[in-house]
Amino acid sequence: MILEGKRILITGGTGSLGKVLVRRLISGELGKPKQIVVFSRDEAKQHFMRLEYLKRQSATDDVIYRNFQELLTFRIGDVRDFHSVSAVVRNADVIFNAAALKQVPTCEYFPFEAVHTNIAGPENIIRAIREHNLPVETVIGISTDKACKPVNVMGMTKAIQERVFIRANLDCSDTRFICVRYGNVLASRGSVIPLFHDQIRSGGPVTITTEDMTRFLLSLDQAVDTIFAALRNARPGETYVPKVPSAKVTDIVDVLIGDRPIKKIITGIRPGEKIHEILVSEEEANRTIDKGAYYAILSILPELKADTLEKSTIGKEFSSSDNLMTKEEVKALFIRHKLMVEDNLTYEDELLR
């Protein structure tokens, strides 16, 4: 079991992905870790996540006092600060870097803040390992489809994050640096589905940027599956991509609205948006191999390439405009993941069902 007895660090671990990742790690499906450290700068999110883990309704002093003795430990810090990163990285065997500025409009208006978090943050992790000669076994960078042929700041900074981590294999030969890249996560607060839920409950209208837009769709558990597949099998410098379906945004809206008398409004594409997302570009396709439920993008650096390819490359880009689901398939997917709108529930209630 690859994580048996390991010390695990999750940066940005209080987000939607972090919570599911922690649940899956605690379950022991990859072995029982010695400790899991959630590292983030939001004390309120840490507080509520800690109470949830301890199954407490309210906090008492002992919740904090025994923090560092628990399997799941919380540490305040920021990936943008080298000193706090150094302090927490020195005790890790495996690092999942989920810390990010990921809202597209926010990154457009504050681009250098995105640079600090999405690029300098990963570099701080690498620098701490390199300068302190730390025995970290694996670092996994969490990326996004927006990093592929990026047109917005979020995607641009995530694309650089991928290259920063891949390049780190040349400096820290005892540490394996790998990445995963995936699209819209169905139950994430950062996805468009919560917006559609709120608009539908308010009686509409539902806003759609363009009728042609398509998006990849996967669940949080599928995102964690991808991370675990990379952890098990990826070689240094590889990026794992899940083979997930996609759908037209108009079909998503129609499924969520159902029979409700709610109008749809086309607002026009927003700054930094693509009509179609891409998980593997045409350039990357020539160094991408099939791994069953995943694609593995091999490193662009010749020093990290295998002598021979295990299999032929996929040869063409992987776009959200390919293999679109029907409305019936979208509805079945949403019912399976309990994402249909129920008027008497909040979005948070639906996620807890």
The residue annotated as part of the active site, out of 146, 158, 248, 291, is 146
- pLDDT class of 352 with cuts at 50, 70, 90: very low
Is residue 6 part of the annotated active site? The answer reads no
- pLDDT class of 353 with cuts at 50, 70, 90: very low
How many Cβ atoms are within 10 Å of 144's Cβ, its own excluded?
A: 26
Instruction: Let me know if residue 316 belongs to a domain.
Output: yes
Burial of 210: CB neighbours in 10 Å, binned 0-12, 13-18, 19+: middle
Query: Is residue 350's pLDDT more than 60?
Result: no
Per-residue pLDDT tens over the stretch 31-73: 999 999 999 999 999 988 988 888 776 655 555 555 556 799 9
Q: Higher-confidence residue: 144 or 339? A: 144
Query: Is residue 9's pLDDT more than 90?
Result: yes
For the record, the structure tokens of 46 come out as: 């840490």
Mean pLDDT of 99-128: 96
Instruction: Let me know if residue 150 belongs to a domain.
Output: yes
Domain around 53? 7-183+219-243+279-320
Instruction: Let me know if residue 274 belongs to a domain.
Output: no
Mean pLDDT of 183-202: 84
Mean pLDDT of 297-302: 94
Instruction: Let me know if residue 257 belongs to a domain.
Output: no
Query: Is residue 191's pLDDT more than 60?
Result: yes
pLDDT over 70 percentage in the chain:
91
Return the pLDDT at 351: 46
Average pLDDT value over all residues in the chain: 90
Rounded distance between C-alpha atoms, residue 127 and residue 227, angstroms: 23
Mean pLDDT of 137-157: 96
Query: Is residue 98's pLDDT more than 90?
Result: yes
Q: What 3-state class would DSSP assign to 35? A: strand
Return the pLDDT at 189: 66
Mean pLDDT of 93-120: 95
CATH number where 104 lies: 3.40.50.720
Mean pLDDT of 166-171: 97
Q: 185: which strand partners?
A: 218
Nearest to 37 by CA among 70, 66, 5, 3: 70
Instruction: Let me know if residue 71 belongs to a domain.
Output: yes
Residue in the block written with tokens 């509409």: 204
Instruction: Let me know if residue 212 belongs to a domain.
Output: no
Any idea what DSSP says for residue 234? P
Q: Which residues contact 311 (CB under 8 A, 6 or more apart)?
A: 289, 290
Q: Higher-confidence residue: 283 or 348? A: 283
Instruction: Let me know if residue 24 belongs to a domain.
Output: yes
Q: Work out how many domains the chain is built from and give that number.
A: 1
Instruction: Let me know if residue 66 belongs to a domain.
Output: yes
Residue in the block written with tokens 């998503």: 252
Return the pLDDT at 19: 93
Query: Is residue 347's pLDDT more than 50?
Result: no
